[in-house]
Amino acid sequence: MRIVFFGTPEFAVPSLQALLRERYQVVGVVTQPDKPQGRSRSTLVPPPVKQEAEHAGIPVLQPVRPLGDVFLAGLRRLEPELGIVVAYGHILRSAVLSLPTQGMINVHASLLPRWRGAAPIQHAILAGDRETGISIMQMEEGLDSGPVLHRIATPLGDGETAGALATRLSELGATALVDALSLLTGGFAKPEPQSSAAVTLAPKIDRDSARLDWRREADALARQVRAFDPAPGAWATLADAPVKLFGAAATDQAGEPGRVLAAGDRLVVGTGRGALEVREVQPAGRIRLTVGDWVHGRGIAAGDRLG
């Protein structure tokens, strides 16, 4: 089977590696353009998936957007039978979806129809879900709405951050993808339509959604900190300057919302119900550091107020 693979970040790499390990014929990889980095923005850094593809000698397409006659002509020359999408980052139109002769499938980081959308990992943590997983679905033009071919569930651990969960789900996604391909090629796949009544949405995360509101209860704020670790980082303000918070847990202490109740090896901040204990911070313009280092550098003290 001739496969074209769409993917960009580290999350997609295990799936591409699994395809190559299982000796599937990956005839091309579509990923996003190299990103400029550095102070002068003159250094171009390739996406992780491109690096993996080039190492394996696979042709790579890098359109700014997967649209237009030039991109479609390049894709058509690959003569794909199946398309596989893993965290590619762009919506694919019908002209692309219909090009592989056997359609396209997607590796999605939730148990569909729960958490359709761009940020299923973050929203599962924010909601306090006890279970999440991977769904392999047939793609159509709707938002993650296609029939599901295969699911693998996994517990969502207490204190697990979005970064740690993404790493686990990337490996689980590779396993689920190989399982689904075995079902497809063996003729055993039974696509299951999604229940429209059970749909929840996971829209893209923006900076405003990562801001902490100290009037909320400590449990919800702790989930918010975990959901945005490592990026974009849940944040508050101190003297009008932003500071990101990491490694949070709820405690039974009580105090005025936003007031620093203790500042030592841990930072304890009052909330609408309970208090939030924090282990690491990243003040504006600085690297991530322990609360102890911040306190010793006189960055914060008990009695200060976070906004």
Please give the pLDDT value at position 214.
Answer: 98
Domain with CATH 3.10.25.10 in the chain: 208-296
User: Which residue from 50, 107, 104 is spatially nearest to 82, judged by alpha carbons?
Assistant: 104
- Distance, in Å, from the CA atom of 40 to the CA atom of 215, rounded to the nearest integer, reads 42
Tell me the pLDDT band of 42, cut-offs 50, 70 and 90: confident
What are the angstrom distances between the C-alpha of 52 and each of 10, 83, 237, 269, 286?
Answer: 10, 18, 40, 44, 32
Q: Express each pLDDT in 258-307 by its tens digit.
A: 999 999 999 999 999 999 999 999 999 899 999 999 999 989 999 999 99
Region(s) of the chain under CATH 3.40.50.170:
2-198
φ, ψ at 165 (rounded to 5°): -65, -40
Per-residue pLDDT band for 43 (boundaries 50, 70, 90) equals confident
Q: Cα(48)–Cα(44) distance, rounded to whole angstroms?
A: 12
Strand runs labelled E in 165-288: 234-238, 241-251, 260-263, 267-270, 275-283
Domain with residues 208-296, CATH architecture: Roll (3.10)
pLDDT at 39: 74
- pLDDT given at position 278: 98
Mean pLDDT of the chain: 96
Task: Please count the other Cβ atoms lying within 10 Å of the Cβ belonging to residue 215.
Answer: 11
Work out the average pLDDT over 31-37: 93
Quick one: average pLDDT of 69-75?
96
Write out pLDDT tens, residues 106-153: 999 999 999 999 999 999 999 999 999 999 999 998 899 999 999 999
Reported as half-sphere exposure (CB side, CA atoms, 13 A), residue 90 has a value of 18
pLDDT average, residue stretch 45-63: 96
Say if residues 226 and 125 touch (Cβ distance below 8 Å). Answer: yes
Sign of the torsion angle spanned by Cα atoms 23, 28, 29, 35: positive
Question: 2-198, what's its fold?
Answer: Rossmann fold (3.40.50)
Structure tokens at 286: 């600085």
Q: Binning pLDDT at 50, 70 and 90, where does residue 201 land? A: very high
CA distance 179 to 2: 17
- pLDDT at residue 40, as a whole number: 72
